[in-house]
Structure 1
């Protein structure tokens, strides 16, 4: 990307991101923020890139960078902490909505989007990967929805996407199998499970069988570009999906697992609260079983994210992590 930018292939540069022409009608959206975190400016750049390609003349988009350690560390917690301190709750809600909208723009784009993560792809870095048509991962990949460590749940569609993915893989809708798929998503999120390689990310379910792994980092972006070109002819965006939500019964089963973890000394009271918020989204609330849309789940995600952010314990976790780089168990 550095060589391409020096040769005049930069299409847009916001300072926080660059849109670079990879050739053959494929553009690359490159993060350039600190730790490649995703704030308002970077998300605006992403929306602009998607709009530009949507107007025609391009085959598709690669999202990637050449950072040696970090694809994306997710949301900028310092901005979140500052907004909380200022009591800017309306702004926080709008930012959460904007992040969800950007992720869904990736999913609904009328052209193929291939994400190329390498190194750390945490929190929002995982969510952006989950919404792509395909992933071209580097073999060294530390990937996971780690929001529980700071007392939050994934707020950018990660909870929704794991539920949709794992339940869609079922060959039947037997109740026991369906709950197992929900519980699989729950455990990944509630325990902030992180892969130590791309192969493990596939085994955990963050990557699909159709996603590919590059073992040479120097070839990863060109591999991702080729995936876009392979997908572009006759491309159609994914269909709008619904999913069966288990409601109160599913909630009860997951709450029992949380209670058992607390009794065994493996979870604090706030861990249980965060886990319950995760379960609430995955079960479509605590009402009767029903069909829910992607937007229904996104609304629940945002509601629970903001509710947790308003708690003293979550704010303490965020402050501690910003100060030490480590999670606080409170």
Structure 2
């Protein structure tokens, strides 16, 4: 549509004063899982991932203009945009583990690639596990920024992303960024990284075992953590080069596996009913 209409690019934003996006419709997801509509859920998750990647690969600039609550899928769409123009008051996070899931719209993949590539710039001798560990901690702890500046320090915003102090100027600032980027815009090329496989997975599984032994994690917390670790390490095998699609496939599989568990469905139902997380 952007190309057909001759526009320079796309701004993802709106004027609602409350929240940019609180994430997916969990009630609909839970109902589909309870009804056993797994083909529909697999297709929906795949389309979600494909949409994120289309934002990332678009032949024109896509600028997200998040503000306030920017959680789950809202964060994932922002992370995959060409750039972000955020309001200074930004509560951004991948919070899916709070309801027993993992980020399934490309968020797990994106944090892995982002943190690993940051380290790769320092040369082949750098320990890539530090990037994997950083992504693992962020996702498992459902870390959320309390400002746009903190979001930048956490890695949700890149150094080149902008911050608007005036909420009323946010959309205009994002539009200006699109127009600035458009003349020489080149989409991001497909990326590959080295997945750590069994070695990295063993380290993360040992850490999860320690948390469980210290009674700081329940059995289901460990199950969730193992799924997140499996995705971030590219599976349980030898270290190898993987594409974004390889990790997206593992991410989608892990999301659906967790959704199929009774305890995750209990967590979702509890959160929908009370607005609070359940530790079961």
TM-score range, shorter chain: over 0.9
- 1:241 correspondence with 2:199: no
Higher mean C-alpha deviation, range 194-203 or range 53-62 = 53-62
Higher mean C-alpha deviation, range 168-177 or range 317-326 = 168-177
Q: Structure 1, unaligned stretches of length 5 or more?
A: 1-51
How far did residue 176 of structure 1 move? 5.4
Structure 1 175/69 Cα, relative in aligned 2: closer, same or farther at 3 Å?
farther
How far did residue 54 of structure 1 move? 2.9
- 1:153 correspondence with 2:108: no
Structure 1 175/308 Cα, relative in aligned 2: closer, same or farther at 3 Å?
farther
Q: Which residue of 2 aligns with 1:183?
A: 133
**Contact 1:71/1:121 (<8 A) preserved:** yes
Mapped to 1, the partners of 2:147 and 2:217 lie a distance apart of: 27
Question: What's the TM-score once normalised by structure 1's chain length?
Answer: 0.83
Greater relative CO (CA pairs within 8 A, separation 6+): 2
SS in 2 for 1:265: coil
- 1:138 correspondence with 2:87: yes
Mapped to 2, the partners of 1:176 and 1:183 lie a distance apart of: 14
Mapped to 2, the partners of 1:306 and 1:208 lie a distance apart of: 30
SS in 2 for 1:292: strand
Q: Which residue of 2 aligns with 1:320?
A: 270
Q: Which residue of 2 aligns with 1:104?
A: 53
Higher strand share: 1
Structure 1 271/203 Cα, relative in aligned 2: closer, same or farther at 3 Å?
same
Mapped to 2, the partners of 1:204 and 1:234 lie a distance apart of: 29
Mapped to 2, the partners of 1:174 and 1:193 lie a distance apart of: 29
Cα deviation digits, residues 60-102 of structure 1 (max 9, x gap): 0000112222100111001001111211111111110111111
Match of 1:120 among 69, 94, 99: 69
How far did residue 256 of structure 1 move? 1.3
Mapped to 2, the partners of 1:83 and 1:213 lie a distance apart of: 38
- 1:216 correspondence with 2:166: yes
Mapped to 1, the partners of 2:15 and 2:147 lie a distance apart of: 18
Mapped to 2, the partners of 1:181 and 1:148 lie a distance apart of: 19
**Contact 1:54/1:109 (<8 A) preserved:** no
Question: How many residues in Structure 1 have an aligned counterpart in Structure 2?
Answer: 279
Mapped to 1, the partners of 2:147 and 2:216 lie a distance apart of: 26
SS in 1 for 2:128: helix
How far did residue 172 of structure 1 move? 2.6
Task: Within 5 Å, give how 1:6-17 maps onto structure 2.
Answer: none
Question: What's the TM-score once normalised by structure 2's chain length?
Answer: 0.97
SS in 2 for 1:232: helix
Cα deviation digits, residues 213-270 of structure 1 (max 9, x gap): 1010001110000100110002111001011100000001111111111122221111
RMSD (CA atoms): 1.1
SS in 2 for 1:213: strand
SS in 1 for 2:178: helix
SS in 2 for 1:238: coil
Mapped to 2, the partners of 1:280 and 1:250 lie a distance apart of: 9
